[in-house]
Amino acid sequence: MKDLNAALRASATAKHKAFSEKLIPTVAPETILGVPMPALRKLAKGIDRSFLADLPHVTYEENILHSLLINGLPAEEALRAMDAFVPYLDNWAVVDAIDPRAFYKGDYIEDYIRLMKSPAPYGRRLGIVLALRHVKEDPERLMNAVEAAESGHYYVDMAMAWFFAEAALYEAEAVLRRLEEGTLPASVHKKTIRKIKESRRVPPAVKARVRALQ
């Protein structure tokens, strides 16, 4: 695409910019144009992969486009692209947009665990969110890895809680045991209980046991 910046600005709205600024407080407001996700998905289809080498990007939307391009890569290329992108991750939305389709065709659990050990908090969040999406492939192994991840950063702790709420759909007893024994960091423990209570997918019996832990 010859003039990506012009295309992005043409798709932006003041309303969506204001919405995004509130939703993603860690991003500098001046870097947010206000382009809705459907428009970004459409634009991503016309961008060459060479865009992935153009780091760092200037706008939040360019970072979202970067994530969307990664999603269409073969697994090994996606892994390399993610590793190169980690130093530039600065918000949950760009991280959570990364969901390579190729990862659903193989076992990349070791790679998620490796990312969880990243010194960069959003690198850790990326590993945890990928583990969440693939938790049913090996719940216990991934639960152990997430539990061992360095916590303390708000968006990492939120990802950990989200992960355990998802894991409760597959291994409820293992999640409940961790909550009952208090093995999770205090912030993650509290957020996990809240996430499970808010979930529309966790069975009522599991929610009842979680409420008793408050």
Q: Please state, in angstroms and rounded to a whole number, the distance separating the CA atoms of residues 120 and 97.
A: 17
**pLDDT beyond 80 at 2:** no
% residues pLDDT > 70 (the chain): 99
| Residue range 36-46: mean pLDDT, rounded | 97
Question: How many other CB atoms are there within 10 angstroms of residue 38's CB atom?
Answer: 9
Of 198, 187, 200, the closest CA to residue 159 belongs to: 187
% residues pLDDT > 90 (the chain): 97
**Distance from CA of residue 81 to its chain's centroid?**
16
Of 144, 214, 210, 156, the closest CA to residue 188 belongs to: 156
**pLDDT beyond 90 at 29:** yes
**pLDDT beyond 90 at 210:** yes
What mean pLDDT, rounded, does the chain reach?
Answer: 96
pLDDT tens figures, 171-185: 999 999 999 999 999
pLDDT tens figures, 153-209: 999 999 999 999 999 999 999 999 999 999 999 999 999 999 999 999 999 999 999
Question: How many other CB atoms are there within 10 angstroms of residue 190's CB atom?
Answer: 14
**Contact residues for 77 (Cβ-Cβ < 8 A; gap 6+):** none
Of 185, 193, 187, 190, the closest CA to residue 209 belongs to: 193
Q: Please state, in angstroms and rounded to a whole number, the distance separating the CA atoms of residues 121 and 82.
A: 14
DSSP run (H or E) holding 129: helix 121-133
How many helices (DSSP H) and strands (DSSP E) are in the chain? 13, 0
* pLDDT in the model for residue 1: 59
pLDDT tens figures, 85-117: 999 999 999 999 999 999 999 999 999 999 999
* pLDDT in the model for residue 52: 97
